[in-house]
C-alpha cells in the first residue's frame, strides 16, 4: 500500500509520487545502476550532472552509452549548447518538467548524477537568487586567482560570515558565488538563501554509491583511455574551434583543459592523460566529501553502497529498493 502524507490537523492528503535520487563520485557506476533500475522498475533516467547536460561533451562528460540508453528512456543529456551556463535553478526547472512527464507516462523518475548541488536544490528547494552581471563574475575569478583560496575565503568571511563558516577554502565554486552576490547586491548570499523554499513534490529514495577513491583509480584510468579511443581529442578540438570563453562550465570539464593543452602543443598526449586522470581523482574525492557532509548526515533513510556498482551486486540492490517500496524520506 502506498504511503499517505498527512496535511494540517493530520488530515490525509494525496500521496506524493515516488522518485529515486542516485549520487556517487565519477566512475562509481551510477549511470549503469540508474539504467538497470529504470529497466527493472519501469522508470526514466533523468540527468543530474552539470556537464552531461552539454551536447558538445558526450565523450568527455561520460554521457550514458548507447547500450544503457536502450534499457530505458533518458532525459536531459546533451540538451544545452556549450555556449550557455546552466544554473542549479535552471536545471531544477528542466528536471521538474521531465519528472512530471515521466509520472504522467506511468514511469518512476530516477535522478542520477555527480552534481550534488543540483539534487539538493531539487529535493529541498531553492531560494530565489539575484542575477549577477558578467563583469562581476569576471572580477570574482580574477580576485580568486590573485588572492588564492585562503585569502579569498577570508575576504568572503568579512562579507558573509555565516556562509564562510560552513564552506571550506577549497570550495571555489561556492565561495565565488558568495563573493559575486555580495558584490552585486550588497547583501550576503546566506541572507538571500533564507526564505521560502520549494521542495520538489515527490518522495525520494536516496541511493549513494561511495567506494573509496583509491579503489576507483583503475576504473578512472580505463574510462579515460576509452574516451581517448572514442575520439575525446577531436571532441575537445571541436569545442576549441568555437572560440568559447574559457570560464564557461563546458570549457572547465575534467579532461578539456588537459587535452586542450596537448592540442596547443604544451605537452604530449601521455602527459595530458596523466593530468586528466589525476584531475578526475581529485574531483571524485570532492564528490565523496560532499556525499559524507551533505547527504549521509542529513538524510534519515538511504541506501549506501560502499563499492563500485556492478552486476554482481545488482540482486542485493534491487531487493532492497523493492523492500523500501521507494518510500525513503528526503
Task: Give the CATH number, domain containing residue 140.
Answer: 1.10.20.140
Candidate from 33-37, 81-85, 193-197, 201-205 with smallest mean pLDDT: 193-197
For 149-184, what is each residue's pLDDT tens digit? Answer: 999 999 999 999 998 998 889 889 889 999 999 999
Residue 211 domain-assigned (yes or no): yes
Mean pLDDT calculated for residue range 196-207: 83
Has residue 329 got a pLDDT over 50?
no
Mean pLDDT calculated for residue range 54-66: 95
Residues 161 and 290 in one domain: no
Residues 188 and 202 in one domain: no
The rounded distance, in Å, linking the Cα atoms of 123 and 113 is 14
Residues 179 and 318 in one domain: no
Instruction: With cut-offs at 50, 70 and 90, classify the pLDDT of residue 296.
Output: confident
pLDDT at 197: 63
Instruction: With cut-offs at 50, 70 and 90, classify the pLDDT of residue 324.
Output: low
Mean pLDDT calculated for residue range 280-309: 84
Residue 3 domain-assigned (yes or no): no
Instruction: With cut-offs at 50, 70 and 90, classify the pLDDT of residue 290.
Output: confident
Whole-prediction pTM: 0.79
The rounded distance, in Å, linking the Cα atoms of 104 and 43 is 12
CB 249 within 8 A of CB 200: no
Of residues 313 and 253, more confidently modeled: 253
Has residue 62 got a pLDDT over 80?
yes
Residues 104 and 214 in one domain: yes
pLDDT at 326: 47
Count structural domains, the chain: 2
Domain region containing 163: 134-192
Residues 222 and 250 in one domain: yes
The rounded distance, in Å, linking the Cα atoms of 168 and 188 is 17
Residue 5 domain-assigned (yes or no): no
pLDDT at 7: 35
Angstrom CA distances, 76 to 178, 263, 317, 325, stand at 28, 30, 25, 26
Residues 171 and 22 in one domain: no
pLDDT at 3: 35
Instruction: Tell whether the torsion through CA atoms of 265, 267, 270 and 274 is positive or negative.
Output: negative
Q: What percent of the chain has pLDDT over 90?
A: 61
In degrees rounded to 5, what are phi and psi of residue 109? -70, 130
Which of 100-104, 113-117, 315-319 is modeled with the greatest confidence?
100-104
Angstrom CA distances, 315 to 83, 209, 301, 324, stand at 42, 16, 20, 14
Among residues 259, 256, 277, 278, the alpha carbon closest in space to that of 267 is found at 259
Of residues 178 and 303, more confidently modeled: 178
Has residue 136 got a pLDDT over 90?
yes
The rounded distance, in Å, linking the Cα atoms of 59 and 85 is 19
Q: What percent of the chain has pLDDT over 70?
A: 91
Residues 213 and 271 in one domain: yes
CB 256 within 8 A of CB 188: no
Amino acid at each position: 500500500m502506498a504511503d499517505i502524507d498527512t496535511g494540517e490537523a493530520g488530515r490525509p492528503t494525496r500521496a506524493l509520487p515516488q522518485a529515486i535520487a542516485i549520487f556517487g563520485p565519477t566512475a562509481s557506476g551510477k549511470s549503469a545502476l540508474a539504467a538497470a533500475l529504470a529497466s527493472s522498475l519501469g522508470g526514466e533516467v533523468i540527468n543530474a550532472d552539470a556537464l552531461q547536460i552539454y551536447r558538445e561533451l558526450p565523450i568527455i562528460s561520460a554521457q550514458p552509452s548507447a547500450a544503457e540508453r536502450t534499457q530505458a528512456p533518458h532525459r536531459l543529456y546533451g540538451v544545452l549548447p556549450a555556449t550557455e551556463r546552466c544554473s542549479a535553478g535552471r536545471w531544477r526547472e528542466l528536471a521538474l518538467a521531465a519528472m512530471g512527464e515521466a509520472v504522467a507516462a506511468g514511469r518512476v523518475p530516477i535522478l542520477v548524477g555527480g552534481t550534488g548541488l543540483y539534487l539538493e536544490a531539487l529535493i529541498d528547494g531553492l531560494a530565489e537568487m539575484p542575477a549577477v552581471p558578467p563583469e562581476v563574475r569576471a572580477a570574482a575569478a580574477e580576485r580568486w586567482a590573485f588572492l588564492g583560496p585562503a585569502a579569498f575565503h577570508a575576504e568572503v568571511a568579512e562579507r558573509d560570515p555565516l556562509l564562510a563558516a560552513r564552506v571550506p577554502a577549497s570550495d571555489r565554486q561556492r565561495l565565488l558565488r558568495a563573493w559575486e552576490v555580495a558584490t552585486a547586491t550588497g547583501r550576503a548570499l546566506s541572507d538571500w538563501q533564507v526564505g521560502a523554499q520549494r521542495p520538489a513534490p515527490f518522495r525520494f529514495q536516496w541511493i549513494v554509491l561511495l567506494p573509496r577513491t583509491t579503489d576507483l583509480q583503475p576504473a578512472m584510468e580505463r574510462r579515460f583511455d576509452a574516451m581517448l579511443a572514442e575520439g575525446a581529442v577531436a571532441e575537445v578540438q571541436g569545442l576549441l574551434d568555437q572560440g568559447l570563453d574559457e570560464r564557461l562550465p563546458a570549457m572547465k570539464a575534467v579532461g578539456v583543459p588537459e587535452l586542450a593543452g596537448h592540442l596547443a602543443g604544451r605537452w604530449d598526449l601521455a602527459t595530458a592523460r596523466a593530468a586528466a586522470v589525476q584531475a578526475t581523482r581529485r574531483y571524485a574525492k570532492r564528490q565523496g566529501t560532499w556525499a559524507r557532509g551533505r547527504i549521509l548526515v542529513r538524510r534519515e533513510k538511504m541506501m549506501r553502497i560502499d563499492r563500485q556498482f556492478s552486476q554482481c551486486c545488482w540482486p542485493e540492490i534491487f531487493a532492497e529498493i523493492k523492500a523500501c517500496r521507494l518510500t525513503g524520506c528526503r
